[in-house]
Amino acid sequence: MPNTQEKFFEYRGLPLVRKGNELYYGSMGDKEVVMLQIARQEKDGELDIATKVRIYRMLIDETVPVMERITKTAEKSSLFEALDLAHDWLKA
């Protein structure tokens, strides 16, 4: 019998989903999630390392106009720092 519930990768107990250069952190069942947008990357050997990440805390409610859904923004110089801040925002 196939599993009907897809299991997402988690960071510190919350789902983390990537689509291209955007990551969505948090549960879609909650009031808000955080979108992390990788704005700049640098090569380190064969790895691409994020060196500029924009962070947007946003409402899930689709009845709210898109630009009004964003409740907080920030920018960090690494994905780890961005995820740490995103976690703090969602757990506050």
Q: What pLDDT is stored for residue 44 in this prediction?
A: 93
Using CA atoms, how far residue 25 sits from 44, 56, 83, in Å, is 25, 10, 8
Q: Could you report the per-residue pLDDT of 59-88, keeping only the tens digit for each?
A: 999 999 989 999 999 999 999 999 999 999
* pTM attached to this predicted model: 0.86
Tokens 């997402």 locate to 8
Higher local confidence (pLDDT), 27 or 2: 27
In angstroms, the CA 62 to CA 39 distance is 25
pLDDT value at 47 more than 90: yes
Determine the average pLDDT of the residues in 18-33: 95
Q: What pLDDT is stored for residue 1 in this prediction?
A: 47
**Domain limits, the chain:** 12-91
Strand partners, 56: 35, 73
Count CA atoms closer than 13 A to 2's CA, side-chain side: 3
Could you tell me which of 40, 29, 17, 19 has the C-alpha nearest to residue 86? 17
Could you tell me which of 92, 24, 33 has the C-alpha nearest to residue 58? 33
pLDDT value at 3 more than 70: no
